[in-house]
Structure 1
Amino acid sequence: MAHQQDQETLKVLHECMEACNHCYDACLKEEDVKMMAECIRLDRECADICGYLEAAITRGTPYVAELASVCAKICDDCGKECAKHDHDHCQACAKACQECADACRKIA
């Protein structure tokens, strides 16, 4: 990947990780936490893989394409789940996940 593309991808990954972490925290404070369980679980999965891929790219791992493919799948799943909920934090997370999934597919 070109250096500029790396920077853009790293930015999108980091923003998605932050959005998922915020959504995770906010979902835990919702009145019906049980209803938010799948959203919370996927927020954690997504934040973790985005953070890992971000670190892997900066390390120059030879597994970027494979990790990006997995990241895109998790971002898609998280985004779809978050989109089901009307909370602002879920909607923002869904948008960040979609952007991240698209960026990951470009390098997968």
Structure 2
Amino acid sequence: MTNKNLIEALNNCIAHCNYCAGACLKEDNVKMMADCIHSDIVCAEICATTAKLLAMDSDMARKMVEICKEACEKCAQECEQHDHQHCKDCAEACRKCAEACSAYLS
């Protein structure tokens, strides 16, 4: 997988995580969504940093992709616990991003 393809997957994941976090904040029981919101924010930040390092062709990118894969998997697991469409969509984007990270690392 090229850096361009992974960067596109990362940016898609960032968009879904940010949307999910915002949508979770509008749910009736925001307290119940706290772990999801936190996971979304952390995942989006890690994906953004990873995309930047890949774009710069940094020698630290590979290590960051490993961390990013783990963050995406954790975020997907959290989002999959909720029935909201934004959570389902976010989980799918996170899973695809984790797969793109795996492909890059192989």
- Does residue 46 of structure 1 match 2:54? no
Q: List gaps (5 residues or longer) in structure 1.
A: none
Deviations 1:14-66 (A, max 9, x none): 00000000000000000000000000000000000111111110111101111
Conserved? CA contact 1:64–1:107, under 8 Å? no
After superposition, where does 1:1-108 map in structure 2 within 5 Å? 5-108=2-105
- TM-score, length-scaled by structure 1: 0.94
Q: List gaps (5 residues or longer) in structure 2.
A: none
Give the total of aligned pairs.
105
Q: Distance in 1 between matches of 2:61 and 2:3?
A: 11
Q: Distance in 2 between matches of 1:10 and 1:57?
A: 7
How large is the RMSD of aligned CA atoms in angstroms? 0.9
- TM-score, length-scaled by structure 2: 0.95
Q: Distance in 2 between matches of 1:49 and 1:27?
A: 20
Q: Distance in 1 between matches of 2:5 and 2:57?
A: 15
The percentage of aligned residue pairs carrying the same residue is: 39
Tell me which amino acid in the other structure corresponds to 1:13. L
Q: List structure 1 runs of 4+ shifted beyond 6 angstroms.
A: none
